Structures are given as C-alpha cells and as structure tokens.
C-alpha cells in the first residue's frame, strides 16, 4: 500500500462482545441487546489526508464492497453532509481485522474516520454528536467513538463505562462469513433474555452469547473452532460470529493456547485494552 508521507495514521481497534443477551425487539425490527464491549489489541490503520476540493476518495478497495458502500467512506460522507464542511479527504484503510468476524472492524474504521476528520476538518462535533451520527452507519459504531470498554443496551448505543480486568485473548477466525442480519432474523433465535446486567457483571458463571446457538447450528466451522478452544477454558463467540475467543490471565498462558491452535486455524493472540487508542482525541 502506497500511502503518501503527509497522510496521518489513526488506529481502529477490534472489539469482543464478552457477553451478549437479546432482551427484546424494537418496532423497526432491530433487536434490543445487553452486551459488554472490550477493545482488543488488533488494529486496522486508517490513513487520512485532507483534500481542498471536497472529494472523498478511498484508495484501498475491499473485494465485493463498492467504494461508496465502504463504511470509512460512508462515515466521511455522513460527517461532511451533517456539518456542511467544504473539505474532502483521501483515505487508505490498512485492514488487519478479519471481516465479517464479529470483531467490528468496519464499524471501528467508520468511528476512526469520524474522530479523525472531526479533528482535521475542525468541525467541532462533540463525542455524543459523533455517536448519534455513527449509529446510523451501524449499531456497533457508537462504542468505538465512546472510547471506553462499555456495557451497552438499546441496540448498542446506550453506553456506560466498565472497568475490566487485565486479560489476554486467543481468537479464532473460522473460515466462514456469518451474515449478521441472517442470525438476527433466525426463527430459533432467543430474544427474551431477562435484562439482568448487574448480576452478569458480578458473576463469571453467566457469560453467554444469545446468538451463539443459532450460529453453531448453521455453521459447522464455528462449532469446530469453539469446541477446540473449549478444551482450554470458557470460550465464547463474539457478536454474530464467526470469531470465537478464550480469555486468558496473561500473555504466556495465551501464547501457549495460541501456539497449539494456530497451525490449524487463523488465530490471533491479543491483549485486552483498557481504552480505545483515540479515547483522548478531540
Ligand atoms: C451483533 C453485533 C454485536 O456487537 O456485532 P457484530 O457481530 O456485527 O460485530 C452488533 O449488534 C451488530 O452491529 P452492526 O454489525 O453494526 O449491525 P448493523 O449494520 O447495524 O445491522 C445489520 C443488520 O443486523 C440486524 N440488527 C443489527 C443490530 C441490532 N441490534 N439488531 C438487529 O436486528 C438488522 O437486521 C440489521 O439490518
Ligand atoms: N471498511 C470496512 N471494513 C470492513 N468491512 C466493511 C467495510 N466497509 C464495509 N464493509 C462490509 O461490512 C461487512 C462486515 O464487516 P465487519 O464490520 O468487519 O464485521 P462484523 O460486523 O462481523 O464485525 C464486511 O463483510 C463488508 O462487506
């Protein structure tokens, strides 16, 4: 990738859903969730250079995604439309976060573009205003703007900070693309979990993902990966899948499991972050 020296680099981390309960459904069909988001040390990098001609130009195309559909472009266009800025941007997105894995890469890219351009274009929106703009691009976007590990309710946009213990994670990306909408629309999806977050946060027994069962039934590759990780501890699927993860107390314990699984699977050994790398940007 050829990025000019005068472009600025901004990190976009992946997330895990440490638990995910579906507690209801809105009238528009969107599901009401309770979830805990944790940022992890696996990053895309978004390179940005301001343009004077008002154009938004993406220089790194993703197979199968039209440039105007790319979440990084949609974020830039949304900010430009909302603020009336006359400026534009050149964007280069260096992808490291596997796509369609429930790791929120596209949403994180979008959030990073909103935060970066709000600074570079000097459009002066507050974090809350950026979050309101972001949720229209995807339910996962607001937490990346919020910038802290968080308990989320609503469709993922009502956020409160949670302080999580130091942990490492082994993540496996099964070789399959789970469609989020397909799982949310599945007839056998559990949609009536009781809102009960305080108990969940206090208990290590109750970490559960309500989307997991349906995904395991539909995608044998996800079940295989989860079964492998479960040999080493309490593994869970993140978001709507396909990735599964195992929390570990420290790096060396995580590396041992990673080494054991990495010859058979696309796997990652990552640290849990305390906060988003752009948590202090303004
Ligand atoms: C499941 C979660 C958990 O963090 O993550 P991922 O697995 O996608 O990373 C999110 O709720 C996903 O958020 P995101 O991926 O941004 O979804 P969106 O683009 O907003 O929605 C994709 C489709 O999923 C359904 N959808 C999404 C969110 C939600 N709360 N209820 C829904 O029913 C809708 O049918 C929507 O058209
Ligand atoms: N910048 C982007 N990065 C990744 N995916 C994108 C992007 N823009 C649009 N997409 C589309 O969004 C889909 C979901 O991507 P992603 O956010 O990485 O996964 P998930 O929602 O499972 O966490 C991709 O398969 C792709 O079609």
pLDDT at residue 191 in the model: 87
Which residue is closest in CA terms to ligand 2's atom 2?
106
Average pLDDT on 131-144 reads 97
pLDDT one-digit tens code per residue, 6-38 = 999 999 999 999 999 999 999 999 999 999 999
Q: pLDDT-derived band of residue 198, with 50, 70 and 90 as boundaries? A: low
pLDDT at residue 218 in the model: 95
Is 279 within 8 Å of 265 (Cβ atoms)?
no
**Average of per-residue pLDDT values in the chain:** 94
Is the pLDDT at 201 greater than 80? The verdict is no
Active site annotation includes 194: no
Question: Is 104 marked as binding a ligand?
Answer: yes
Cβ of 103 closer than 6 Å to ligand 2, yes or no, is yes
Is the pLDDT at 280 greater than 70? The verdict is yes
User: Residue for token digits 């990966």?
Assistant: 225
Is the pLDDT at 145 greater than 90? The verdict is yes
Burial class (CB in 10 A: 0-12, 13-18, 19+), 120: middle
Is the pLDDT at 199 greater than 80? The verdict is no
Q: pLDDT-derived band of residue 207, with 50, 70 and 90 as boundaries? A: confident
pLDDT one-digit tens code per residue, 146-194 = 999 999 999 988 999 999 999 999 999 999 999 899 999 999 998 888 7
pLDDT one-digit tens code per residue, 36-83 = 999 999 999 999 999 999 999 999 999 999 999 999 999 999 999 999
pLDDT at residue 212 in the model: 97
Task: Report ipTM for this prediction.
Answer: 0.95
Q: pLDDT-derived band of residue 206, with 50, 70 and 90 as boundaries? A: low
CA angle 126, 129, 132 (to 5 degrees): 150
Q: Which residue ranges form the domains of the chain, and what is each CATH number?
A: 8-161 (3.30.230.10), 168-271 (3.30.70.890)
Is the pLDDT at 114 greater than 60? The verdict is yes
What's the CA-to-centroid distance between 170 and ligand 2, angstroms? 21
CA distance 201 to 78: 35
Is the pLDDT at 204 greater than 70? The verdict is no
Question: Is 138 marked as binding a ligand?
Answer: no
Which residue is closest in CA terms to ligand 2's atom 7?
106
Which residue is closest in CA terms to ligand 1's atom 24?
181
pLDDT one-digit tens code per residue, 243-269 = 999 999 999 999 999 999 999 999 999
User: Would residue 24 be called left, alpha or beta, if left means φ above 0 and alpha means ψ between -120 and 50 degrees?
Assistant: left
Q: Within 13 A of 116's CA, how many CA atoms are on the CB side?
A: 29
- Closest atom of ligand 1 to 37 CA is 4
pLDDT at residue 197 in the model: 56
Give, as one character, the DSSP assignment of residue 100: T
């Amino acid at each position: 990738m050829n990025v000019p020296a005068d472009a600025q680099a901004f990190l976009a981390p992946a997330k895990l859903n440490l638990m995910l309960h579906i507690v209801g459904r809105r009238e528009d069909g969107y599901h009401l969730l309770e979830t805990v988001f944790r940022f992890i040390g696996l990053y895309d990098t978004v390179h940005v250079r301001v343009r004077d001609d008002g154009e938004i130009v993406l220089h790194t195309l993703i197979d199968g995604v039209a440039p105007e559909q790319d979440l990084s472009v949609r974020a830039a266009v949304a900010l430009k439309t909302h603020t009336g800025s006359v400026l534009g941007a050149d964007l280069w997105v260096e992808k490291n976060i596997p796509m369609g894995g429930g790791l929120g890469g596209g949403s994180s890219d979008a959030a990073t573009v909103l935060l970066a351009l709000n600074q570079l274009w000097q459009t002066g929106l507050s974090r809350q205003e950026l979050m309101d703009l972001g949720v229209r691009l995807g339910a996962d976007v607001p937490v990346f703007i919020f910038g802290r590990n968080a308990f989320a309710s609503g469709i993922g946009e009502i956020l409160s900070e949670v302080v999580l213990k130091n942990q490492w994670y082994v993540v496996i990306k099964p070789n399959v693309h789970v469609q989020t909408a397909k799982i949310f629309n599945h007839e056998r999806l559990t949609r009536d979990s009781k809102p009960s977050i305080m108990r969940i946060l206090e208990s290590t027994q109750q970490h559960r993902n309500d989307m997991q069962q349906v995904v395991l039934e539909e995608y044998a590759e996800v079940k295989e990966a989860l079964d492998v990780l479960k040999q080493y501890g309490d593994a869970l699927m993140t978001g709507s899948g396909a990735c599964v993860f195992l929390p570990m107390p420290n790096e060396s314990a995580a590396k041992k499991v990673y080494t054991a699984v990495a010859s058979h699977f696309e796997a990652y050994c990552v640290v849990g972050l305390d906060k988003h790398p752009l948590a202090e940007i303004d």
